[in-house]
Amino acid sequence: MIVGIIGRGRMGSALARALAAHGGPVLIAGRGDPVRPPDSFAPYPGIRSVPTGAVVAGADLVVLMLPFAAAVELALAGRLDDGRGRTVIDATNPPQAGVAPPAPPGSGGRLLAELLPQWRVVKALNTVPAGMLDEPVLDGRPVTVPLAGDHPPAKAEVSALLRRLGFAPVDVGGIDRAPALESLADLLMAISSRHALRGRLGFQVALAEPPAAVDGGPSGPAHVELSRRASGGGERQRRPAPAAESARSPAGRPPRPSR
């Protein structure tokens, strides 16, 4: 699969290198004409720097990794019209309240989905800092990436791509959940800034065994763990309570009552 990236900044370049390191061909474009590829691309012959039109025309899946306003501008200018039912990952984050220009009412992800009806839009990767794209692991476990969209096949395609990169994707529902993902990205950036993490931050969702598997009750909630990765290893910020032992035997049957 050829992945196309629109956005040649820190995020887009980091994603291109991560994809190429896993053996996939990558087309990447900036907002202007192609420029001389940066030296950081030299070890990755699979990365090609091309115009935006070539990314839109030639990629099997496209990732929007540029400022939200620039993505809207491309959509309004018709430069993303050639969707042909393919999948596009919206990795943008609209400016939050108090920042000019402010985010549009509702959600940036929903707005882009409306502007790009020829594409299957999936909101994903907007919660991942550039520094986590090359090694998405904290405390020995993969970083969680929530994704939202209205097309199950598109979400399956994005999930497979995320797993290939080493992430743990979690489907959170339709594109109407995009505002929550954008707010989460804002929160993570605030934590990174507050603790001077420089983007070396991610989160992990661990799904506990549903109580229904033991006593027929409703499924229990997931717990979220925030971790930071320091040089030379991970440092856990909060340790979850140990999981309760399952009441089932290894074969999946309830234990036999004692006589």
Q: Residue 65 is encoded by which pair of tokens? A: 């990794």
Determine the residue type at 213. Answer: A
Task: Please name which of 70, 3, 10 lies closest in space to residue 38, comparing C-alpha atoms.
Answer: 10
Q: Which stretches of 26-134 are DSSP H helices?
A: 52-58, 68-76, 108-115
pLDDT at residue 105 is higher than 60: no
For residues 216-245, average pLDDT: 41
For residues 85-108, average pLDDT: 75
Give the model confidence (pLDDT) of 157-201 as tens digits: 999 999 999 999 999 999 999 999 999 999 999 999 999 988 788
Q: Is 180 exposed, middle or buried (0-12, 13-18, 19+ CB in 10 A)?
A: middle
For residues 218-231, average pLDDT: 40
pLDDT band for 69, please (50, 70, 90 cuts): very high
Give the pLDDT confidence score for residue 259 in this predicted structure: 43
pLDDT band for 223, please (50, 70, 90 cuts): very low
pLDDT at residue 21 is higher than 90: yes
3 state SS of 229: strand
Residue 126: DSSP 8-state: T
* Per-chain mean pLDDT for the chain: 82
- Which region holds residue 232: left if phi is over 0, alpha if psi is between -120 and 50, else beta? left
